[in-house]
Each structure stands twice: as C-alpha cells, then as structure tokens.
Structure 1
Amino acid sequence: MSVTGVCQVCEQREAEYVCHRCGAAVCSVHFEQDRGLCVHCADPQGRDDVFAESDEDVPEFR
C-alpha cells in the first residue's frame, strides 16, 4: 500500500506508514513499527510525549 501526504501527528514530515488501529497516516518518527501503531494508539493514556526528540529539527517544535 502506498501512503501519500503528511504525517497526521506532526503535520510536517512525509507520511510513510498507516496505523493498523486507527488508520492514521504517519511518519517514521510517530509510528511504532514493532506494534504497527501510531504514537497515539500505542499510548492511549497520553503518558508519553508524542513529539519525539527528533522533532526538534522541525521549526514548529523548537
């Protein structure tokens, strides 16, 4: 399956994956490959910061 568009989490990077639970198109930073889930579905309680350290290179998150 081809994924096009921007990540539905950071709205900055190119989406490369689709969450197996919610269907969100997400970038590699916001996708847990071992579980096949976006960061929101992987942590539904919101305990973790969904904006990873590698988001620091995106101006909006500085």
Structure 2
Amino acid sequence: MSVTGACQVCEQREAEYACHRCGAAVCSVHFDQDRGVCVHCADPEGRDDVFAEGDGDVPEFR
C-alpha cells in the first residue's frame, strides 16, 4: 500500500507507514516498526509522550 501526505500525528513529516491497527498514515518517528502500529495504538493509555523532540508546536491528537 502506498502512503502519501503528512503524518497524522505530527502533521510535519512525510508519512511513510500505515498503522496496521487504525490505518493512520504516520512518519517513521511516530511508527512502532516492531509492532507495525502508530504510537497512539502502541500506547493506547497515553502514558508516553508521543511527540518527538523537534516536533515543535504540534497539534493534539483528536
């Protein structure tokens, strides 16, 4: 499957992956390659900070 557009987490980087659970298009920073899911699906309870250093002023996940 081809993934195009901006990452649906940070909306700054180019999306390279699609989450196998929710289908979100995400960049390599916001994708857990071991599990094949986005950072939100990898941590559904929201315990970890999903925004990488340098993401700047990123929007909140909806």
Give the TM-score category using the shorter length: 0.7 to 0.9
SS at 2:35's partner residue? coil
Residue identity over aligned pairs, in percent, reads 83
**1:25 equivalenced with 2:18 (yes/no):** no
Q: Which has the higher helix share?
A: 1
Consecutive unaligned residues in structure 2, runs of 5 or more: none
SS at 2:44's partner residue? coil
Q: Which has the higher contact order (CA 8 A, sep 6+)?
A: 2
Alignment length (residue pairs): 58
Q: Report the TM-score when normalising by structure 2.
A: 0.86
Q: Which runs of 4+ in 1 moved over 4 A?
A: none
TM-align CA RMSD: 1.2
Q: Report the TM-score when normalising by structure 1.
A: 0.86
